[in-house]
């Protein structure tokens, strides 16, 4: 077997394949060369962060995660930096998103939903005790470990107690429309504790019902279900806008939350959800009251963990300074990256950390194996992509295919990479990097038709074995 090529090393970490990708960051699988422990490394480009004025948000995310050491929160191990990059080293969580579980299997039995909700409330209660308010709680930000336990992730929109104004409230409007509390829209400020709790209530409803309590394709109609909304502009995903952009001259008035529990939901669950989804934050149930709720307490197990000493936040500012940099060494790739057994296992259906499905249930990435040479695979993909209207950018055995024509969510970008599984066998990953997932699904169907003589087994074939 060929000796594995190290494409890149960051301090003591050997970098591997990309397992997630966003506008400002990539997440790569990596391994601690000293301990052999797998980790996930979030990589941010400093120039992009500074250009888009994201520095304070990134510093806040790092500071937040360093404060939180809880078994149901993704752990941040350390932060490294070079002149051009920031590297956030995180716990490698192997069970995927809670969102995927709902998409694939629908609503849960109450016992399972209660377990996840108990773990969520434990984590959120701990975060609040440390002065941290998440502000974007939703199933997509809840991961599952190998044992099926919940892990809260993505503190990019979180707030710290230091951000609370003199009135004792937070004032930045942010969150995800279907999960945001009605008072967050109010120009008078909101309590991060009660706002997070509302989101937890929406999550519990989704787990038990299999659908959202407040859902409307028209955002104006959606917010009329929980409030009277003045002229505003909302992003369908997570948002953060200045309050002055949100408010008109008339004040925001909170109305009665309009939702209906499905008939299969037990009375105890309905009663608890109704007390959480109270549009008045002053009368909304509190976490101590939830902990005493009869439905919640059934089969309850309090997490046992040893909290370490106070977190050192000195390096939060240092990651943006060259004086504290960690130099990154890179080696040019002359052959496809060989994959070891652990990496092969991490790519299997049950252990995939990538966002495999969007809200319509379409896959965001897929794979196939081929007995062709790596160069032949690259050439064939290029030949097939160009007639479909894609520009091709190649770097070693990675390719980025960019659609010259804008689609429903901008220009579709597709990333591909060839891995060497054995001397005569390669695995090809095809992943949506940008654009609409349905358009990616249609593109891949057209691409696979042109690659019939290249593909040996598809991902579905491999999973059926």
Q: Tens of pLDDT along 278-313?
A: 988 999 999 999 999 999 999 998 887 766 655 666
> Do 352 and 280 share a structural domain?
no
pLDDT at 201: 95
- Is 318 domain-assigned? no
> Do 365 and 240 share a structural domain?
no
Of the spans 160-169, 302-311, 415-424, which averages the highest pLDDT? Answer: 415-424
> Do 118 and 264 share a structural domain?
yes
Instruction: Give kind and range of the element (H or E) at residue 285.
Output: none
- Is 392 domain-assigned? yes
- Is 329 domain-assigned? no
pLDDT at 55: 78
More confident call, 410 vs 322: 410
pLDDT at 239: 43
Among 275, 297, 319, give the residue marking a domain's end: 297
pLDDT at 353: 40
Residue 214: which domain range?
98-297
> Do 208 and 140 share a structural domain?
yes
Average pLDDT over residues 125-134: 87
> Do 364 and 275 share a structural domain?
no
Among 243, 270, 297, give the residue marking a domain's end: 297
> Do 42 and 157 share a structural domain?
no
Q: Are strands 398-407 and 25-32 parallel, antiparallel or unpaired?
A: unpaired
pLDDT higher than threshold 80 for residue 267: yes
- Is 28 domain-assigned? yes
- Relative orientation angle of helices 267-276 and 192-209, to the nearest 10 degrees: 150
pLDDT at 361: 46
pLDDT higher than threshold 50 for residue 432: yes
Verdict on whether the full-model pTM lies above 0.95: no
pLDDT > 90: percent of the chain = 25
3-state secondary structure labels for all residues of the chain: CCCCCCCEEECCEEEEEEEEECCCEEEEEEEECCCCCEEEEEEEEHHHHHHCCCHHHHHHHHHHHHHCCCCCECCEEEEEECCCEEEEEEECCCCCEHHHHHHHHCCCCHHHHHHHHHHHHHHHHHHHHCCEECCCCCHHHEEECCCCCEEECCCCCCEEHHHCCCCCCECCEEECHHHCCHHHHCCCCECHHHHHHHHHHHHHHHHHHCCCCCCCCCHHHHHHCCECCCCCCCCCCCEEECHHHHCCCCCCCECCCCCCCCCCCCHHHHHHHHHHCCCCCCCCCCHHHHHCCHHHHCCCCCCCCCCCCCCCCHHHHHCCCHHHCCCEEECCCCCCEECCHHHHHHCCHHHCCCCCECCCCCECEEEEEECCCHHHHHHHHHHHHHHHCEEEEEECCEEEEEEEEEEECEEEEEEEEEEEEECCEEEEEEEEEECCHHHHHHHHHHHHHHCCCCCCEEHHHHHHC
* Least confident among 91-95, 206-210, 356-360, 450-454: 356-360
pLDDT at 6: 45
- Is 308 domain-assigned? no
> Do 376 and 259 share a structural domain?
no
pLDDT at 58: 79
- Count Cβ atoms within 10 A of the Cβ of residue 120 and give its class: 0-12 exposed, 13-18 middle, 19 or more buried: buried
Query: Taking the CA atoms of the chain, what radius of gyration do you get in angstroms?
Result: 23
* Backbone dihedral region for residue 172 (phi beyond 0: left; psi -120 to 50: alpha; all else: beta): beta
- Is 316 domain-assigned? no
**Degrees to nearest 5, angle at CA 248 with 243 and 250:** 120
pLDDT higher than threshold 70 for residue 216: no
**Is 136 an annotated catalytic residue?**
yes
Average pLDDT value for the chain: 76
pLDDT at 308: 61
- 42: annotated binding-site residue? yes
- Is 382 domain-assigned? yes
pLDDT higher than threshold 50 for residue 197: yes
CATH number where 361 lies: 3.30.310.80
> Do 122 and 42 share a structural domain?
no
> Do 234 and 362 share a structural domain?
no
- Is 320 domain-assigned? no
pLDDT at 330: 45
pLDDT at 144: 92
pLDDT at 114: 97
More confident call, 248 vs 202: 202
> Do 168 and 204 share a structural domain?
yes
Among 73, 92, 111, give the residue marking a domain's end: 92
How many domains is the chain partitioned into structurally?
A: 3
CATH number where 245 lies: 1.10.510.10
- Count Cβ atoms within 10 A of the Cβ of residue 355 and give its class: 0-12 exposed, 13-18 middle, 19 or more buried: buried
pLDDT at 11: 83
> Do 277 and 191 share a structural domain?
yes
Predicted confidence band of residue 120 (pLDDT cuts 50, 70, 90): very high
* Least confident among 34-48, 130-144, 176-190, 213-227: 213-227
pLDDT higher than threshold 70 for residue 355: no
More confident call, 118 vs 438: 118
CATH number where 80 lies: 3.30.200.20
> Do 138 and 25 share a structural domain?
no
Average pLDDT over residues 364-376: 86
pLDDT higher than threshold 50 for residue 373: yes
Of the spans 44-48, 269-273, 359-363, which averages the highest pLDDT? Answer: 269-273
* Least confident among 60-69, 320-329, 361-370: 320-329
Catalytic residue among 136, 154, 191, 278: 136
């Amino acid at each position: 077997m060929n000796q594995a090529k190290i494409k890149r090393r960051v301090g003591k970490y050997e970098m591997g394949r990309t397992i997630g990708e966003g506008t400002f960051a990539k997440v790569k699988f990596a391994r601690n060369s000293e301990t052999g422990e797998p980790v996930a490394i979030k990589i941010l480009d400093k120039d992009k962060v500074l250009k888009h004025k994201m520095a304070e948000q990134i510093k806040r995310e790092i500071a937040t995660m360093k404060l939180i050491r809880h078994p149901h929160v993704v752990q941040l191990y350390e932060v490294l930096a070079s002149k051009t990059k920031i590297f956030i080293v995180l716990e490698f969580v192997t069970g995927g998103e809670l969102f995927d579980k709902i998409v694939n299997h629908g609503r849960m039995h109450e016992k399972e939903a209660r377990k996840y909700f108990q773990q969520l409330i434990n984590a959120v209660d701990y975060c609040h005790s440390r002065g941290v308010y998440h502000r974007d709680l939703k199933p997509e930000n809840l991961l599952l470990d190998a044992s099926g336990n919940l892990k809260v992730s993505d503190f990019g929109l979180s707030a710290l107690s230091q951000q609370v104004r003199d009135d004792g409230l937070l004032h930045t409007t942010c969150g995800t429309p279907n999960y945001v509390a009605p008072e967050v829209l109010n120009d008078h400020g909101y309590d991060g504790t009660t706002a997070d709790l509302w989101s937890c209530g929406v999550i519990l409803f989704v787990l038990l019902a299999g659908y959202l309590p407040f859902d409307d394709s028209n955002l104006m109609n959606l917010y009329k279900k929980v409030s009277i909304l003045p002229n505003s502009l909302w992003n369908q995903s997570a948002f953060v806008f200045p309050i002055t952009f949100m408010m008109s001259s008339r004040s925001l008035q909170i109305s009665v939350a309009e939702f209906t529990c499905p008939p299969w939901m037990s009375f105890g669950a309905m009663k608890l959800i109704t007390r959480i989804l109270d549009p008045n934050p002053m009368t909304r149930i509190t976490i101590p009251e939830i902990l005493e709720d009869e439905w919640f307490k059934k089969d309850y197990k309090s997490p046992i963990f040893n909290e370490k000493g106070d977190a050192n936040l000195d390096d939060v500012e240092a990651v943006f300074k060259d004086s504290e940099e960690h130099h990154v060494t890179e080696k040019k790739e002359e052959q496809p990256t060989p994959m070891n057994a652990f990496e092969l296992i991490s790519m299997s259906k049950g252990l995939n950390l990538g966002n495999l499905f969007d809200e319509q249930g379409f896959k965001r990435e897929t794979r196939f194996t081929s007995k062709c040479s790596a160069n032949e695979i690259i050439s064939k993909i290029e030949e097939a992509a160009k007639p479909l209207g894609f520009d091709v950018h190649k770097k070693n055995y990675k390719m980025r295919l960019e659609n010259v024509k804008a689609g429903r969510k901008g220009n579709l970008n597709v990333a591909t990479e060839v891995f060497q599984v054995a001397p005569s066998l390669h695995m090809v990953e095809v992943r949506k990097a940008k654009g609409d997932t349905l358009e990616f699904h249609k593109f891949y169907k057209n691409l696979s038709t042109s690659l019939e003589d290249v593909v040996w087994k598809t991902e579905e074939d491999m999973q059926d074995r």
